[in-house]
């Protein structure tokens, strides 16, 4: 049977044998009562690794972001975010329902929010007792919509200085933060120290089956524990999952650079038959975005044609298709996938 090459996301990875063994050997307790030893070990390890006072293991990145949003804001507060950030593009309805917040949506160049963007967002809205006021700046790193673009550390430093002077908080949706750090040669602590909170997802670059970590000061994490339980995230023997995350962050960091190499290779090989540039942007990390606007075929049809040939891709929009490299994808898979994508490009130009 021909192998299916799954490039829909880096969340599709399967645990390796060593990770499964770590899960089997996990020391567990009831984490609702904070008695799960493995979960506590993971939280302490991550607080130290990322350089924060405390950390909280949360089952998904979506929940971790919503919990952070709730801790930083009150109903009616304004959150400044880019139009294509995950919290807006996918989770705006949840944020409106759970946090009762208002988004001030930016069109930042390639998703990289700057101080000028924030100043524009603040000044173009009328302010009075009838309106909301900004409380939180939402940064994404890497930036999914723009082919996994790395958010510049220097820009974050500038925003941090601005936010301190203007009473604003900064949250970083760092689901793929370690991808950004590997590309830039920057330790994650360097990013985290310029935020008030951040998340990282083990189920993406590091290949764990589930789980994210929420990072911040002790008071913030204490608040987060309350909302985690409110939202149904108070787990019991969570060490079964936490053990896979601990294994992932201690053993799988070296794979990230290979994923980046494979993404660049896929982008190069897949566009050989295209005279015009069809990439949304050159991949900096592990995401490749194809803009099909110049083809006769919309995203769904393109994805269907690829699936028939054994390659799974993700519909990002009606005209954009995403491919994500990960630990279960080899260089051989990349050559095979690129051949399929090229065949479709040739037939659809």
Full DSSP string of 153-182: HHHHHHHHHHHHHHT-EEEEE-TTHHHHHH
Task: Sketch the domain layout of the chain as residue ranges.
Answer: 17-251, 254-348
What CA–CA distance (Å, rounded) separates 213 from 208? Answer: 12
Let me know if domain 254-348 sits in CATH 3.90.1150.10: yes
What CA–CA distance (Å, rounded) separates 57 from 236? Answer: 12
Show the beta-strand stretches assigned E in the chain.
5-6, 54-58, 78-82, 102-106, 134-140, 169-173, 197-201, 212-216, 287-291, 311-312, 314-315, 320-324
pLDDT at 348: 65
What CA–CA distance (Å, rounded) separates 296 from 298? Answer: 7
Query: What distance separates the 2 farthest-apart alpha carbons in the chain?
Result: 65
Query: Directed axis angle between helix 331-348 and helix 255-270, to 10°?
Result: 30
pLDDT at 297: 84
Instruction: Tell me the pTM.
Output: 0.95
Identify whether the C-beta of residue 283 lies closer than 8 Å to the C-beta of residue 148. yes
As a whole number of Å, the CA-based R_g of the chain is: 21
Q: Kindly report the CATH number that applies to the domain delimited by 17-251.
A: 3.40.640.10
pLDDT at 125: 84
> CB neighbours (10 Å) of residue 55?
24
pLDDT at 145: 95
pLDDT at 349: 58
Instruction: Return the SS3 of 14.
Output: coil
Identify the H or E element spanning 248.
helix 239-251
> CB neighbours (10 Å) of residue 286?
30
Token digits for 303?
């994805």
Question: What b/e string do you get for 2-36 counting C-beta neighbours within 10 Å, with b at 16 or more?
Answer: eeebbbbbbbbbebbeebeebbeebebbebeeeeb
What CA–CA distance (Å, rounded) separates 176 from 344? Answer: 30
pLDDT by residue for the chain (349 residues), tens only, comes to 678 999 999 999 999 999 999 999 999 999 999 999 999 999 999 999 999 999 999 999 999 999 999 999 999 999 999 999 999 999 999 999 999 999 999 999 999 999 999 999 988 888 888 888 999 999 999 999 999 999 999 999 999 999 999 999 999 999 999 999 999 999 999 999 999 999 999 999 999 999 999 999 999 999 999 999 999 999 999 999 999 999 999 999 999 999 999 999 999 999 877 756 789 899 999 999 999 987 878 999 999 999 999 999 999 999 999 999 999 999 999 999 999 999 998 876 5
pLDDT at 235: 93
- 339 burial (CB, 10 Å; 0-12 / 13-18 / 19+) is middle
Mention every residue, 6+ apart, whose C-beta is less than 8 A from residue 335: 269
pLDDT at 130: 84
Instruction: Return the SS3 of 149.
Output: strand
pLDDT at 301: 94
Instruction: Return the SS3 of 320.
Output: strand
């Amino acid at each position: 049977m021909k192998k299916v090459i799954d490039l829909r996301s880096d969340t599709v990875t399967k645990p390796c044998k060593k990770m499964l063994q770590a899960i089997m050997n996990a020391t567990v307790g009831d984490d609702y009562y904070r008695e799960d030893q493995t979960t506590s070990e993971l939280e302490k390890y991550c607080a130290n690794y990322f350089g924060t006072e405390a950390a909280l293991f949360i089952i998904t990145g979506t929940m971790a972001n919503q919990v952070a949003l709730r801790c930083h804001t009150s109903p009616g507060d304004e959150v400044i975010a880019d139009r294509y950030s995950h919290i807006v593009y996918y989770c705006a309805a949840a944020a409106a329902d759970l946090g009762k917040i208002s988004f001030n949506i930016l069109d930042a160049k390639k998703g990289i929010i700057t101080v000028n963007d924030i100043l524009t967002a603040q000044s173009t809205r009328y302010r009075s007792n009838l309106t909301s006021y900004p409380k939180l700046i939402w940064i994404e790193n890497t930036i999914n919509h723009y082919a996994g673009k790395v958010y510049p550390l220097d820009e974050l430093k500038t925003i941090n200085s601005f936010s301190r002077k203007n009473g604003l908080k900064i949250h970083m949706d760092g689901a793929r933060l370690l991808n950004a750090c590997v590309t830039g040669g920057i330790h994650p602590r360097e990013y985290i120290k310029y935020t008030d909170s951040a998340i990282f997802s083990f189920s993406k670059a590091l290949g764990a089956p589930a789980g994210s970590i929420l990072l911040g000061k002790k008071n913030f994490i204490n608040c987060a524990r309350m909302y985690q339980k409110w939202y149904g995230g108070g787990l019991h023997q969570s060490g079964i999952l936490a053990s896979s995350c601990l294994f992932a962050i201690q053993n799988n960091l070296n794979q990230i650079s290979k994923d980046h190499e494979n993404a660049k290779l896929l982008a190069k090989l897949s566009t050989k038959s295209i005279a015009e540039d069809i990439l949304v942007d050159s991949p900096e990390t592990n995401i490749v975005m194809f803009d099909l606007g110049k083809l006769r075929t919309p995203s769904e049809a393109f994805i269907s044609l690829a699936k028939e040939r054994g390659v799974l891709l993700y519909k990002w929009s009606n005209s954009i298709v995403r491919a994500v490299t990960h630990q279960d994808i080899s260089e051989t898979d990349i050559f095979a996938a690129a051949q399929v994508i090229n065949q479709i490009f040739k037939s659809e130009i």
